[in-house]
Structure 1
Amino acid sequence: MTNTATGATERTPVIPLPPTAARAATAIGAVATAASTFLAWTWTTDFPGDLTVTGYPGGLQVLTLVAALLALLYTVASYRIRGLRWLLPTGSDNAVALLAIGAFATTWYTLIAITTELGGIVNLEPGGYVAGAASLVLLLGALGLPLDRHTKEHTADRPALALALRISFAKRPLKAPKALSAGAEILIVIAAYAVALGVFTYGIDTSYAELFAGFLITTGFGVTALGQAGVLSRLSAIAAHQRPIAVAAAFAAAAAFPFTQSDDQYATIGVNILVFATVALGLNIVVGLAGLLDLGYVAFLGVGAYAAALVSGSASSRFHTIHFPFWAAALTGAAAAMVFGVLIGAPTLRLRGDYLAIVTLGFGEIFRIAVQNMDGTTGPNLTGGPNGIHDIPDLKMFGFDFGAAHDIGGITLGRFANYYLLMLLFTVIVVTVFSRASNSRIGRAWIAIREDETAALAMGINGFRLKLLAFALGAGLAGLAGTVQAHVTFTVVPEQYQFAGPVPPNSAFLLAAVVLGGMGTISGPLLGASLLYLIPAKFQFLQNYQLLGFGIALVLLMRFRPEGLIASRRQQLEYHDDIPTDSGPVATVTGKDVAGLTQAGA
């Protein structure tokens, strides 16, 4: 209301909901929401997932059930019950609120989808109304909890619900953990990667778009809730302490994926994700470490693919009489891409910023147009022109035919599962190279150049030579991935290597994967590439609006999480003024401080 004497606007005080009542409402809402999934939500099987059965959940109801049970579990854990305290290392109720929002969003997304696709609200059964009301109770109860928020306002006398849409969640510092034995830490690491494998397998095996959308909603809020609870930070610390075991467990979980599939339908998506992710990780050296904006990076993937195709023994190859063994073809593709990286980088890397981006964009388009015209008519007969090089034979190494199905332990691995395991080996190589490079003296020099090239040059760093090295190394890694891609797809054509196109990988999507996942990290581009490949693959009906959707997603990301989904500590300090440390105090560091420390370390 307005003070008539001063003309100032005064806020009406709001009486907050008692925490005990809020927790009780949250628990009741979670139980009711979980129970509603055992009721029929619609009367017809026209909606995918069969939500017409009373007695057990199906389709999207399973996701609602999982989200509601997790919200209930964390509500109980918020009472600090012995045996459940490890679920809330931070002791914050933010995790409960996020899980409640996730359950509400998944439930109402399902109800809205049923109403929209079937033609009206009349298609909802009573169970659907119960689910909507129960999830609303869950949401209101959770938002009434005393939550930690980023705000400069005094909120001690204001309930969470009054500020829910205006103030973002803040994260409490972790409390000192209890010491665990080495055996317990190893079991936790193995269990964490097993759960991650299960979640990834469920997501990639979703058979219709509605279920995948619900999976994204539930998983997104669930992972964010674990971050607010401090579970992810605690797991990260344990993994760092047991680094060899964590690396082995990650590789084992990734290698186990083909054994969870009954056919090659989703193994195809898996191998393409690895190709996309490996190329994105190579681009991360150029963009994330050295700070060079390369908009034509997909051309290096094409150079490697064409080089491998030319020496593959394909009948459509200009050199069809030459058939290199795969290890030689892989080295040829990587070397060819690296040479092109040096040839392009030498005259262009003296440019900076927008000028460098424009030149690399031009190189990418020149490469695509050049290979399209090398058909023997408008240019030399080398690449097959628009038809490309096709009928590339499957790989055979040490008597193992990658194109044939193989039985291992009673499980049949098809063609794409074989190539998935091969590409996984290449991904491990690229991850190793990136890790070694980023932690080396050269890697610190790249970071110094990225932060402030002028200051780095003043410190004695040879900027041009190191930028050229980053360009060549990134190009070589992309070419290495291209050699596998050529054999996986059977054919190499110019349309595969555009700046922006309907099907990844292309330069725009590769750059988006690095920015979305988190520049300068290893797991960031892997996660970003997985999301950017899975979303178009699952949402085929949005094919004409992919660039619009990703543009909106990147705008929102830059607004709310500019450091990416998985950010390095340096970027967190650069983009956020107040970062809580594990010991409790708040560290206030500016971007200039980070740049200065980086240059001094380099």
Structure 2
Amino acid sequence: MTTQNAPAFLALPTAAARIATTAGAAIALTGTFLAWTWTDEFPGDLTVTGYPGGLQVLALICAALTLLFALSGYGIKGLRWLTPGGTNSPTRLLALGTLGVVGYSIGAISAKLGGVVNLEPGAWVSATGALIAVIASLGLPGDLPLEKDSSPNAWERFRDSLRAPAPKRIKDLPAWAEILIIAGAFGIGLHVFTYGIDTEYAELFIGFLIAVAFGFTAISRAGLIARITALTTKHRNVTVAAALIAAFCFPFTQQNEQYALIGANILIFATVALGLNVVVGLAGLLDLGYVAFLGVGAYAAALVSGSPMSPIGVQFPFWAAVLTGAAASLVFGVVIGAPTLRLRGDYLAIVTLGFGEIFRLTVNALNGVSGPDLTNGSQGIPSIPDLNILGFDFGISHDIGGFTLGRSANYYLLMLVFTGVVVMVFRRSNESRIGRAWVAIREDETAATAMGINAFRLKLLAFALGATLAGLAGTVQAHVSYTVTPEQYQFAGSVPPNSAFLLAAVILGGMGTLSGPLVGAALLYLIPAKLQFMQDYQLFLFGLALILLMRFRPEGLVADRRKQLEFHETGQLDVPPDVPLTDTAAGTTKAGA
């Protein structure tokens, strides 16, 4: 496709397009310092001139990044390091992000206050600047050379903007500098995550999602993510330590108990998703009833927790309750896996789906009427007491170093320890001989069996290990939520964790990777928790997000090199175009295609 029939602005010279993009970003940035509305009834108080607030801050950040990346295209010394993968696509994406935040803000203000008449000039200034930046950025050439056409149209340029650049080799830095870069990256990640959780109203959170989506895609397209990934791969132990330290600092940044509780539940969800990643991501076993193992661990811990509603009436120390929950999940994993793992594909998925439903119906029936009195049926096991480990009561607040940690923060730190254990187990398993055998089974079980791998035994081991890890998380979840009920462990529902959301967290985050399920689980739990007013439409929006992500990034948000090569064209030809092909049957020679 050529640009002969394209709009006139696509034919702008590159220099003019870059100047216009820079000017538009500067105008949008200036507008954020002006009032956007005349009344403070809209959340965030956008009436103050000279002091951005609420959605204005997000628009300010997007406009500033757009301006910074646009300036890097001029070859200014000290800015070229921002864009090792190219300058134009990141600038285009950030301009779209600025327009998205400003446009959404205008729409939200108009909807809440009753029309565009409530807008002040600052909103129109930012919108005009963002629109100029977007239109001008479409005139910038693409960063990736295309095989079919050297002058793609606007849609092709936008599509190629989403493609991750190939990692480039960079000059080695001193080890201390590389470690500082890793620490800084995790510090920025902690700040962004904390800002997302601390958003006090839905309009700000939606604007935050728009800014993060375009911003992350832009810096990924610029090549910065590839550079950080190269450094984290080189310093794996430092990376794991930095991630755990950043996660440890999170509760000390929270003063709202509700936000700390969201963090604790995210860790529970992420840990279970990482356990499912062993089954699905490494071994390639489609398990649709995995949440049942979480329920087994939670019910086992609740029964021995000393709850007055527990039919057993015993109270184990926490370490014994943890072992009980993990052992119960392990037994269930072996019992369910042994007769079913000889199945493959869809048949295995149907059987595991049936197991998840059987578990929920069984614990619902063990109420003393339909069956033995073991789980109190639909009422579940409530009034689970808070933990007390070595005199540390998790149910009360504690002052540590001038910071006050409430109940949710206490359980968050406890769950962080469990997450660290699960991360270590997953990492060791993935790098071991057994992990390589799992990957071989996932790629081609027949070929792996022909090479001498005992596929059934290793699949059963993956199933049992994944179930055990889920049981560990379940023991903490029982105490965090105070109660366990059958409705918490369904295949699908509007509130995670459930089997559908767990599987989606693994696939969207990146199957077979360490950080992918953690990122996917955090997003899939945080978004419904912050957008509760859209609860009736959550499954619809969830499905729409799946479609878009599978279309533009099927390998997941965090993908290894194997998945990137599998889902994207490498641009390599089987036969060079200038090498002739000889047709031996006809005795003629044809040019290679």
Q: Deviation at 1:336?
A: 0.3
Secondary structure class of the residue paired with 2:404: strand
Q: How does 1:141-220 map to 2 (within 5 A)?
A: 141-149=136-144, 151-156=146-151, 161=154, 163-164=156-157, 169-220=162-213
CA contact (8 A) 2:161 2:221 kept: no
Distance in structure 2 (CA, Å) of the matches to 1:466 and 1:166: 41
CA contact (8 A) 2:309 2:383 kept: yes
Q: Deviation at 1:117?
A: 2.3
Distance of aligned partners of 1:29 and 1:285 in 2 relative to their CA distance in 1, 3 Å threshold: same
Greater Cα offset, 512-521 or 9-18: 9-18
Distance in structure 2 (CA, Å) of the matches to 1:475 and 1:165: 42
Counterpart of 2:247 in structure 1: which amino acid? A
Partner of 1:327: 319
Counterpart of 2:545 in structure 1: which amino acid? A
Distance in structure 2 (CA, Å) of the matches to 1:138 and 1:9: 23
CA contact (8 A) 1:107 1:131 kept: yes
Secondary structure class of the residue paired with 1:512: helix
Q: Which of 474, 478, 481 is the aligned partner of 1:486?
A: 478
Identity of aligned residues (%): 64
Secondary structure class of the residue paired with 1:140: helix
CA contact (8 A) 1:148 1:170 kept: no
Partner of 1:243: 236
Q: Deviation at 1:71?
A: 0.8
1:418 partnered with 2:401: no
Q: Deviation at 1:56?
A: 1.1
Q: Deviation at 1:172?
A: 4.3
Q: How does 1:45-444 map to 2 (within 5 A)?
A: 45-149=40-144, 151-156=146-151, 161=154, 163-164=156-157, 169-320=162-313, 322-444=314-436
Distance in structure 2 (CA, Å) of the matches to 1:587 and 1:414: 59
Distance in structure 2 (CA, Å) of the matches to 1:425 and 1:587: 48
Counterpart of 1:38 in structure 2: which amino acid? F
Q: Deviation at 1:173?
A: 3.8
The one-character-per-residue Cα deviations of 1:552-593 (angstroms, maximum 9, x if unpaired) are: 2112222221111111111111111217xxxxxx6989xxxx
Q: Which of 23, 39, 48 is the aligned partner of 2:34?
A: 39
Counterpart of 1:399 in structure 2: which amino acid? G
Partner of 2:568: 576
Secondary structure class of the residue paired with 1:407: strand
Number of residue-to-residue matches in the alignment: 573
Distance in structure 2 (CA, Å) of the matches to 1:576 and 1:588: 15
The one-character-per-residue Cα deviations of 1:457-487 (angstroms, maximum 9, x if unpaired) are: 1111111111111111000000000000000
Q: Deviation at 1:161?
A: 3.9
The one-character-per-residue Cα deviations of 1:13-54 (angstroms, maximum 9, x if unpaired) are: 767211211111111111110110111111222221111222
Distance in structure 2 (CA, Å) of the matches to 1:344 and 1:459: 27
Counterpart of 2:468 in structure 1: which amino acid? G
Q: Deviation at 1:148?
A: 2.5
Q: How does 1:511-550 map to 2 (within 5 A)?
A: 511-550=503-542
Secondary structure class of the residue paired with 1:505: coil
Distance of aligned partners of 1:166 and 1:466 in 2 relative to their CA distance in 1, 3 Å threshold: closer
Q: How does 1:435-454 map to 2 (within 5 A)?
A: 435-454=427-446
Q: Deviation at 1:11?
A: 4.3
CA contact (8 A) 1:263 1:414 kept: no
Q: Deviation at 1:235?
A: 1.2
Q: Which of 544, 564, 585 is the aligned partner of 1:552?
A: 544
Q: TM-score, normalised by structure 2?
A: 0.93
The one-character-per-residue Cα deviations of 1:245-286 (angstroms, maximum 9, x if unpaired) are: 222111110000000011312000000000000000101111
Q: Deviation at 1:369?
A: 0.6
Distance in structure 2 (CA, Å) of the matches to 1:115 and 1:504: 33
Counterpart of 1:287 in structure 2: which amino acid? V
Structure 2, unaligned stretches of length 5 or more? 576-593
Distance of aligned partners of 1:395 and 1:230 in 2 relative to their CA distance in 1, 3 Å threshold: same
The one-character-per-residue Cα deviations of 1:398-434 (angstroms, maximum 9, x if unpaired) are: 1111111000111100000000001011011111111
Q: Deviation at 1:194?
A: 0.8
CA contact (8 A) 2:162 2:217 kept: no
Secondary structure class of the residue paired with 2:104: helix
Q: TM-score, normalised by structure 1?
A: 0.92
CA contact (8 A) 1:283 1:511 kept: yes
Secondary structure class of the residue paired with 2:228: helix
CA contact (8 A) 1:499 1:507 kept: yes
Distance in structure 2 (CA, Å) of the matches to 1:9 and 1:256: 53
Partner of 1:496: 488
RMSD over aligned Cα atoms: 1.9
CA contact (8 A) 2:72 2:87 kept: no
Secondary structure class of the residue paired with 1:578: coil
The one-character-per-residue Cα deviations of 1:288-326 (angstroms, maximum 9, x if unpaired) are: 111111111000000000000111111111121x21111
CA contact (8 A) 2:382 2:482 kept: yes
Secondary structure class of the residue paired with 1:49: coil
Partner of 2:580: none
Distance of aligned partners of 1:203 and 1:587 in 2 relative to their CA distance in 1, 3 Å threshold: farther
Distance in structure 1 (CA, Å) of the matches to 2:192 and 2:145: 30
Q: Deviation at 1:57?
A: 0.8
Distance in structure 1 (CA, Å) of the matches to 2:156 and 2:436: 42
Counterpart of 2:531 in structure 1: which amino acid? F
CA contact (8 A) 1:60 1:211 kept: yes
Distance in structure 1 (CA, Å) of the matches to 2:328 and 2:181: 43
Greater Cα offset, 383-392 or 239-248: 239-248
Distance of aligned partners of 1:166 and 1:433 in 2 relative to their CA distance in 1, 3 Å threshold: closer
Distance of aligned partners of 1:447 and 1:176 in 2 relative to their CA distance in 1, 3 Å threshold: closer
Partner of 1:466: 458
Counterpart of 2:233 in structure 1: which amino acid? A
Counterpart of 1:247 in structure 2: which amino acid? V
The one-character-per-residue Cα deviations of 1:164-204 (angstroms, maximum 9, x if unpaired) are: 45655445444442221112112111111111111100011
Distance in structure 1 (CA, Å) of the matches to 2:188 and 2:217: 16
Counterpart of 1:457 in structure 2: which amino acid? T
CA contact (8 A) 1:92 1:147 kept: no
